[in-house]
Amino acid sequence: MDLPHRLLRFLVISFVFLGSQSVCFAQDEFSVPGLDEPKPAAASGSSAPEGTVVQDDTSLYGLIKKGGWAMIPLGLLSMGSIALGVFFMMDFKPKNFAPKELSAQLEAKMEAADIAAAAEIARSSPTCLGTVVFSGSEYVRDRGWEVLNGEVIFDVLADASLDANRGRASALNYLSLIAASAPMVGLLGTVSGMIGAFGTMAREGMGDPSKLSGNISEALITTATGLVIAIPVTFAYFFFRDRLSKMITASEKEAGRLINILRKAVYPPEVAEAQAHGGYHAEPHHAAQEAPPQQ
């Protein structure tokens, strides 16, 4: 299964799991300065007896209700960032890029100049190194041993590495998108709350400021929620971007090392020395007379 399908399935499962957990913990209360102090009930228009104290709902579900409609997309962005972070932690590992076992198998085939066997081993591996070495092996089999004389083969390896990790890079961009869009969604909720507050002021005036509390709570909670989501996601994006870059670089270096092993196996040392000093065109020695035909 390729990376986009694995990522889609992982995100669906994560959304279901995180959504169920948010429902389970929705009633957990926690202290919020300015929200957990009791306030007197309104003298008129209230069902509570006069003089009683009404406690604000400071549970998670209560704050989500105060945040209004903007908390729904913010919640989806939060769950998406968590799901992506867990996925990247599981995927950005050496075993998915340049595992030592695969490298040892390919090195043995390259030393024997068995390019066909090396291509078969690389093709059976879903790792980055396997994809890169398979592309390089196919290029050698298609063009012949002469391509090992120049540097074009390394450009082929770099292009193959780029194609192999294009899906990972695209998925990582979604993390950056969440970091950029969460504050804007929170700001949109803030604007919505302030519009409601001014509408309340226009209808009922400033006689009872408590009537504005709902709109002001919506404005402040959505802004805070957007920032709470964006700040850690921004750090996570740069962390995973650097980690992916290191994994890709390690895979390309390992693939280049294997190609150099193949080059030494195909051409004798004196030919390599002559090439290094601008000598004659190299011909393969007895270890490999010609590249095996492509299957």
Q: What is the pLDDT of residue 28?
A: 42
The predicted pLDDT at position 202 comes to 72
Query: What would the two tokens of residue 92 be?
Result: 């950005």
DSSP H stretches of helix in the chain:
3-24, 60-67, 71-91, 100-111, 115-123, 128-143, 152-164, 166-204, 213-266, 269-276
Q: Provide the whole-model pTM.
A: 0.70
CA dihedral (264, 265, 269, 275) in degrees, to 10, reads -50
User: In the prediction, which pLDDT does 10 show?
Assistant: 57
Task: With beta carbons less than 8 A apart as the criterion, state whether 29 and 59 touch.
Answer: yes
| Cα–Cα distance, 132 to 252 (Å, whole number) | 8
Specify the pLDDT at position 213: 64
The two three-digit tokens of residue 35, written as one number: 């929200």
| pLDDT value of position 83 | 95
- Give how far Cα 141 sits from Cα of 72, 115, 136, 263, 291, Å: 55, 7, 9, 13, 5
pLDDT for residue 148: 86
* pLDDT mean for each 10 residues of the chain (295 residues): 57 52 40 44 45 50 68 91 95 94 94 92 94 94 87 92 93 94 89 76 67 69 90 96 95 94 80 48 51 50
Residues 6 or more apart in contact with residue 165 via CB below 8 angstroms: 128, 244, 248
Q: At what angle do helices 71-91 and 60-67 cross, to 10 degrees?
A: 120
pLDDT of residue 109: 93
